[in-house]
Chain A
């Protein structure tokens, strides 16, 4: 499912600890926590275009009775028994906790939580793709008046696709039959691995009646979830010979500074202090070119998209990534120049990933008519959202665009 390179790039960038701390449990380092905060922040900014979101965090010890009332059939949870009591479930879902929070506060939502989820796991894990302790697990819940769910679902489709585009990940949305009757409508946000195979980034449900009743909800409820797999996929697409190259929405450092040892080093620092909205980190001043190059490699490995150096007085140099290029500058770039550099870098990352996405999905997006879908003549995984008319690839009748999957469900 995954290649090891993305994990190596995340470790080398200092986002993840060198080793996990148990089977299926990934340890995040300080810069990684910053990147996750930016990922959630970007999502919240986009969610605000639908309705102002609230953020919360729930207890990790979840009373067994309240969990079981909503998820009576789910066995993949860890329980902490207590004598004479039902005991606790170690937080395995946020849906019922978000719903209880909405009821308690009188807020209609959306409410977003990022707390980790612990689930039992058979077989081996894959860091950030398949884990026992799933962190970050971003989950949004939104209560809606009856009859407005489908329309809001379409608005969230756009929120998710724009969020992932900011991370350099192209995506499309498909509507599928919800697994285990979880939702009346289920949207999957689909992107691709580096080799072009499709993979799911987010799930969006309009919750089924039985869950709404168990939660004590009138009206409709939207539930959206995605995990750290988003960052794993970003790392998979966005690395080069230096290592991880994060899009500017996520990068802990936008601009690496490479001062030389003379007075020009101080000039570079003074110039960087005047850049608003650009996150910078400086290497120690070095006279020797090979030391500056080594410092540059270290800073680029942390995910920084751009480096600016002053190897000699008045000799401004820039290093760009995606693709890698070193150029002379006519003078110190302005903050606007650097933002344009970052925008260009983000566009190049997204375009490269979109190229893989288009090639990977080219044979999988086809037209299908209701008759051929019902007869299972075509292996349809889901209908593309929003609906797009397309003649049926099997019989030529009027149909709509669908995503095929010869091997059944993919994750």
Chain B
């Protein structure tokens, strides 16, 4: 199995209270995770999402929040329209206070700047609370 994220990125995210979860490259639309790229799979014409870059995703299902898992990240595939690429970092945080999410976004933007490319951050609301979404590629990533 591939090693975990480049240590700098892992260290930064851990310092900000994020926990790693395993990459799931494809999820059914009826499931608890969601990615930006929606596709229709055969058999059955079933709607699924493929793990892809962009900040329109859900990495934290609501039941996890009740168990204290409020900040997580995963590292893995970017299955976008151009093909398959490794080293896509996705992270999400859900907090009760919007100010905390804004502070976290600013800190991550600054801390990750040297370690990733294509960094995108968005703040908004999910599960009725303030949320942050982060998408970026590790600098070491190479196209297959």
Contacts and interface: CB of A to CB of B under 8 A. Distances in A.
Interface string B79-116: 10001100000000000000000000000000000000
A19 B25 contact: no
Contacts of A90: 25-26, 41
A29 B21 contact: yes
A79 B41 contact: yes
B22 interface: yes
B142 to A, nearest CB: 12
Given A27-B22, A79-B42, A120-B43, A19 B31 contact: no
Interface in A252-273: none
B46 to A, nearest CB: 8
Given A19-B32, A22-B30, A27 B24 contact: yes
- Among B25, B27, B32, B61, the one with the most A-chain Cβ atoms within 10 Å of its Cβ is B25
B84 A21 contact: no
B134 to A, nearest CB: 17
B63 interface: yes
A78 B32 contact: no
B111 to A, nearest CB: 19
A45 interface: no
Interface in B1-53: 1-2, 4, 19-22, 24-28, 30-33, 39-43, 46, 48, 50
A57 B75 CA distance: 14
Nearest to A81: B42
A238 B4 CA distance: 27
Contacts of A133: 24, 26
Interface in A19-68: 19-23, 25, 27-30, 32-33, 36-37, 40, 55, 57, 59-61
Contact of B27 (A17, A25, A114): A25
Given A60-B84, A79-B42, A80-B41, A118 B1 contact: no
Contacts of B43: 75, 78-79, 120
Contact of B1 (A17, A19, A57, A78): A57
B140 interface: no
B69 interface: yes
Interface in A54-105: 55, 57, 59-61, 75, 78-81, 90
Contact of A116 (B4, B25, B63): B25
B105 to A, nearest CB: 22
A18 interface: yes
Given A60-B77, A80-B39, A17 B21 contact: yes
Interface string A328-357: 000000000000000000000000000000
Nearest to B26: A90
B26 A21 contact: no
- Among A32, A33, A75, the one with the most B-chain Cβ atoms within 10 Å of its Cβ is A33
Contact of A61 (B28, B30, B46, B84): B84
Contacts, number: 96
A36 B1 contact: yes
B31 A22 contact: yes
Contacts of A226: none
A20 B26 CA distance: 14
B31 A17 contact: no
A69 to B, nearest CB: 18
A20 B30 CA distance: 12
Contacts of A30: 19-21
Nearest to B46: A78
Given A28-B22, A30-B21, A57-B2, A21 B144 contact: no
Contacts of B69: 17-18, 29
Interface string A117-155: 010100000000000010110000000000000000000
B101 to A, nearest CB: 22
Contacts of B63: 18-19
A60 B26 contact: yes
A30 B64 CA distance: 14
A22 B22 contact: no
A399 to B, nearest CB: 43
B140 to A, nearest CB: 14
A396 B124 CA distance: 76
B79 A22 contact: no
A221 B32 CA distance: 40
B2 A23 contact: no
Nearest to A112: B1
A206 to B, nearest CB: 26
9 contacts: A18-B67, A19-B63, A21-B31, A22-B28, A25-B24, A27-B21, A29-B20, A120-B43, A135-B24
Given A28-B21, A28-B22, A78-B46, 13 more contacts: A18-B66, A19-B61, A19-B63, A21-B24, A25-B28, A27-B22, A32-B22, A80-B50, A90-B41, A115-B1, A116-B24, A118-B26, A133-B26
Interface of B: 1-2, 4, 19-22, 24-28, 30-33, 39-43, 46, 48, 50, 61, 63-64, 66-67, 69, 77, 79, 83-84, 144
